[in-house]
Structure 1
Amino acid sequence: MISDYVTAFFKMDPAHLEAFVADWLNLRRHVYVDWTRCSGAGDGGRDVVGFETNRRYEGPWTNYQCKLLRRNLSVTDAVRELGKIFMHVAAGDFTLPTKYVFVAPKGTVRTLSDLVGHPEKFRRTVIERWDAVCRDHLVKGQATPLTPEIRAVVEAFDFTGVSVLDGAKLAAQEDIGPALVRWFGADPGPLPSPEALPAVSLDEAPYLAQLAAAYGARAELVEATTDDILAHPKFGEQLRDQRLRYFHASRFGRLYRKRVFEDVLVAFDEEIYHGVVDTHRDDGHRDALAQVNAVMRVAPLLPLTGPLRDHASAQVKQGTCHRFANEGRLPWGI
């Protein structure tokens, strides 16, 4: 529920909110080529910055200003934060951002919402309120008047690029799911129903060759191929089952890679690996097929932790073992 995440945002401290936004920007590779977190003293009015090109500050960039306040973001808060940016741009510290996003979980007062919706009115408000809001509040112990240079920067800034993300809007961003999983334990959701098993593909060659050898040895077929085993009256159906397991595991990894951070998938793999490796290494297997069958019996029983634990079917756990074989991590054969 979106409301649950909004409540969770309220409970974060400012540094954690910035880190959360940084994680989100790390997911937005379709928008930003890079990002940086500038929090702390001397941040120049920037918390988290997303760069749209490798030109970084010399190209288009977005400033995400995180304001975790006990109240709604006010006009004074917004004008003062923008004032910091304008002061530093006038001093030549960096260029104007293309977009400026207030990340304010509590939302804004109605007056500020009105200004965001009226860019030219917002510009006039910054100029008119500079002395009251910014002059004595941007640099400790130092006045910052609205000099011609700063005013020129205010006039040059595109106020249509100012927006606000309250808690509900932030949690509803379509690409934010993995960050919600990492920070709040969100459920990454089940997979859709699987498609039909596809034809044998080139990427399956390593583990299928190993299985063909294992089944071939049991069937007394010298140098058996995948096609030989698939046509075998006894082992053909078994090999098709093994392919189905591999297909489930490949699809699982492919789809959840869009829903969780890579470290979640790495941790998932490690749990599967350490759950089956001793069975795989057991020197009591009479042949390679016995090794395969033993691992296939153990894998579905593995208790998993982490956000994917409720979505890994028996086939996914078994198929992950075939992926390990494909990668050379746990090859089939004794």
Structure 2
Amino acid sequence: MTDFREVSPPTLPKTLPNVGQFQSGPPIAPIARLMIYSPDDWETFIEEWVSAALSASYKSVARFTGSGDKGIDVAGFVDANGLNGVWDNFQCKHYAQPLSPTVAWPEIGKILWFSFNGHYTAPRAYYLVAPRGVGTKLNLLLGHAANLKAETKKVWAKNIAESITGTQSVDLTGAFAAYVDKFDFSIFKAISPRELIEQHRKTPYFFERFGGELPARPLPEKPPEAVQGHEQRYVEHLLAAYAEHKKEAIADIAALKKWKPLSDHLNRQRESFYHAEAFRVFLREKVDPGTFESLQDEIHDGVIDTAEGTFVDGFERVKAVTQASQTVPLDAHPLGSSAFVKDRHGICHQLANDDRLRWTQP
């Protein structure tokens, strides 16, 4: 007789999911996402990581594809000499389990053989990168260069000789054996997937690839008393709007002191501009390039019809446009939930700073 037990409905959590969880389910940890990549996706991710997270270390980065890559997947070049100069190799392996020495032997053999034959200089460092890392046995060998060399020579005939070129057996004899004997095996290393993720987290591509919430934003600085060069243009547009409203010339912000409502309005707009500028700078190294600019485009598209409407003066146009910015739907934009009211107002003035919005008619 088959045994069975009665089950009860699962206990519901005592907290409500956020909007993203309600639509897409619980978040998937970055390290779990790495496991489901295809081998090609994995190489793309490593190329992205090397290019972005390690960009300060390399003059250029290249990805090698196809059967003739000679043991190179992603290369970081320290100088302009490419494979004939100082470079590091990142060997991408996407397996269902941690890498074993059996997987590493042919790759080590390729580096030895092709550098010996002058196809490239030996890399400065050779990193095995895999979503499940390397197993204990391989990790111990990589941590002791002399043992790794000895074991490589020991297994050469069985595990390496037939796996280097596909067209010939490479015997460990003669000048090549002498080359291997003098080779610096300390270049062979492994990088853990958690280290990859933490380094990638500092790049602009992390949130697009793995999702999650942006870290807390720092408080923006208060605007200095004097108008700075980078805000000159939008302030000029505001002064023109105030002048049209009062029907008299207003040369600078000091002239606003006799109209407190206008002076207060300008102060609020400058605070909003600095708020949006701080948001832009905060995002610069955290999201994909162009993401903040696309938010500006969304605000522009949402307020331009209002800006082109008919108003008694430019001051009324400014107020109408900034008010309209508060109701622009941003739910579909990746930064929509992170934009405060001051960000929306400030973006209007960023657009005015670039002459994409104007408060007075030419």
TM-score normalised by L of structure 2: 0.85
Aligned length: 333
Aligned residues of 2:99 and 2:135 also touching (Cα < 8 A): yes
Q: Distance in 1 between matches of 2:61 and 2:160?
A: 28
The residue aligned with 2:30 is: 5
RMSD between aligned residues: 2.3
Q: Is 1:251–2:282 an aligned residue pair?
A: no
SS at match of 2:91: strand
Which amino acid in structure 1 is aligned with residue 269 of structure 2? Answer: Q
Is 2:27–2:212's contact at 8 Å kept on the other side of the alignment?
no
Question: Using the alignment, how far apart are the partners of 1:310 and 1:232 within structure 2?
Answer: 36
Instruction: Give the % identical residues.
Output: 29
**Any residues of structure 2 matched to 1:190-229 within 5 Å, and which?**
190-199=216-225, 200-229=227-256
Match for residue 126 of structure 2?
A: 100
CA distance in 2, matches of 1:332, 1:151: 78
Match of 1:18 in 2: 43
Distance 1:189 1:155, change over 3 A: farther
**Structure 1 position 262 matched with structure 2 position 282:** no
- Is the contact between residue 275 and residue 299 of structure 1 (CA under 8 Å) also seen in structure 2? yes
Which has the larger Rg? Answer: 2
What per-residue deviation string (whole Å, max 9, x for no partner) do you get for residues 150-184 of structure 1?
44554454433332223222112265443321222
Answer yes or no: is the 8 Å Cα contact 1:230–1:239 preserved in 2.
no
Report the counterpart of residue 126 of structure 1 in structure 2.
152
Matched, 1:298 2:324: yes
Q: Distance in 1 between matches of 2:280 and 2:179?
A: 48
Alignment equivalent of 1:315, drawn from 321, 339, 342:
342
Deviations 1:269-315 (A, max 9, x none): 32222222222222x12222222111101112222234322211111
What is aligned with 2:18?
Answer: none
Mean Cα deviation higher: 266-275 or 64-73: 266-275
Choose from 171, 189, 194 the match for 1:163: 189
CA distance in structure 1 between the partners assigned to 2:108 and 2:155 by the alignment: 12
Q: Give secondary structure in 1 for the equivalent of 2:171.
A: coil
Matches within 5 A, 1:109-120: 109-120=135-146
Secondary structure class of the residue paired with 1:186: coil
Counterpart residue type for residue 108 of structure 2: L
Q: 2 CA distance for matches of 1:227 and 1:91?
A: 75
User: Residue 225 of structure 1: CA displacement?
Assistant: 1.4
Structure 1 residues 98 and 156: alpha-carbon distance in aligned structure 2, compared to 1, 3 A threshold: farther
- Using the alignment, how far apart are the partners of 1:104 and 1:2 within structure 2? 22
Hey, what does 1:54 align to over in structure 2?
Answer: 80
Distance in 1 (CA, whole Å) between partners of 2:118 and 2:138 is: 28
Report the Cα distance in structure 1 between the residues aligned to 2:164 and 2:120, rounded to whole angstroms.
Answer: 17
Preserved CA contact (<8 Å) 2:77 2:85: yes
Q: Residue 172 of structure 1: SS of its match in structure 2?
A: helix
| Secondary structure at the counterpart of residue 294 of structure 1 | helix
Segments of structure 2 that go 5 or more residues without pairing to the other structure are 1-25
CA contact (8 A) 2:39 2:94 kept: yes
Is this contact kept in 2: 1:177–1:188, CA < 8 A?
A: no
* Residue in structure 1 matched with residue 14 of structure 2 by the alignment: none
Query: For the residues of structure 1 that align with 2:184 and 2:228, how far apart are their CA atoms?
Result: 52
- 149-158 or 44-53, larger mean C-alpha shift: 149-158
Q: Distance in 2 between matches of 1:255 and 1:149?
A: 56
> Aligned partners of 1:108, 1:231: CA distance in 2, in Å?
72
CA offset digits 1:306-332 (Å, max 9, x no partner)? 432221111112211211111222233
Partner-residue secondary structure (3-state), 2:57: coil
Distance 1:185 1:230 in 2: 48
Match of 1:272 among 295, 299, 321: 299
C-alpha distance 110-211 of structure 1, shift in aligned 2 (>3 A): same
Amino acid at match of 1:6: I
Secondary structure of the residue aligned to 1:234 is: helix
Q: Distance in 2 between matches of 1:109 and 1:249?
A: 48
Aligned-partner SS, 1:123 = helix
For 2:36, give the aligned amino acid.
K
CA offset digits 1:174-220 (Å, max 9, x no partner):
65443321222233323122333334211111111111111122123
